[in-house]
Amino acid sequence: MSWELSAKVFKTDPKLLPPGEKLVMLALAEHGGDDGEHIFPSVERVALKTSLSERTVQRILKKLTEKGLLRIVAPSTRHFPTQYEIVVERCVKSPKWAKLETRTQMSGGVTPCHPTPHSGVTSMTSGVTSTTSGVTKLVTLKEDLKREENYTVGAEPPNGSPPMLDIPLIERDGSFTVTKQMVEEWAETFPGVDVRRKLLHIRQWNRDNPSRRKTKAGIRKHITGWLAREQDKPPAAGAKPRLEGRL
């Protein structure tokens, strides 16, 4: 999750990015890096995050692409969702945001206030208190979002490693997010396995067998055991060596 990318989306001019579209862009920004790349959540996941219907999300994604705010890097396949890139340079800052930031810089980071003849000191103190309160609320919001994300995916992805797909866990643990870093590590450990394809198989198996899903503590053992069994299988007659799995 990139706070820098989310901030750019937040500050984008509403004339360019109205509320519904901004909500979808913020959901996408949660999956990208600071450069706006490596974004490929499913339409279903974006719909859940935004409380919009999947049809509405699809319509908004199409509109964002037509505006040039969103770029399709790789189209969807049978097993993998569309990969997007947020075109950061097209996210033009709202004039009101620019004005607010300029005013904040001129005041040295303290919210501007206008003291009256009778309460000059009190007003200035109130301005500082307001700024402190705002910072506290922002920190609390970030902590709440982080806790919510950990609960949803069941395990926090490594810093800077974009999510690839989610594997459902038992109900209390939500789901487990597989990141690009994990895929690369497994591809190195199991060079004879098409890791991406097998992860899709694992996800589908867990979707189809809810009573046999794993816990947050046991999902990695489940995945590595599956990949190890695939690695040990003898190659089919005439099959070429498989070098897939690396991205």
pLDDT attached to residue 144: 47
For 66-89, the pLDDT digits (tens) are 999 999 999 988 778 899 999 999
pLDDT mean over 7-32: 91
| pTM over 0.75, yes/no | no
pLDDT attached to residue 125: 44
CA distance 100 to 225: 54
DSSP 103-129: HHHHTTTSPP----TT-HHHHHHHHHH
pLDDT attached to residue 124: 42
50-54, 145-149, 231-235: which is most confident: 50-54
Q: Which domains does the chain have, with CATH numbers?
A: 3-90 (1.10.10.10), 163-232 (no CATH)
C-alpha 240: how far from its chain's center?
Answer: 36
For 200-220, the pLDDT digits (tens) are 999 999 998 888 999 999 999
Q: Please report which confidence band the pLDDT of residue 160 belongs to, taking 50, 70 and 90 as the band edges.
A: low
Where does residue 211 rank: exposed (0-12), middle (13-18), buried (19+ CB within 10 A)?
exposed
Q: Which residue, among 164, 167, 163, has the nearest Cα to 208 in the 3D structure?
A: 167
**Residue 69: CA atoms inside 13 Å, Cβ hemisphere, count?**
26
For 125-156, the pLDDT digits (tens) are 444 444 444 455 455 544 544 444 443 333 44
For 88-106, the pLDDT digits (tens) are 998 988 888 888 888 877 7
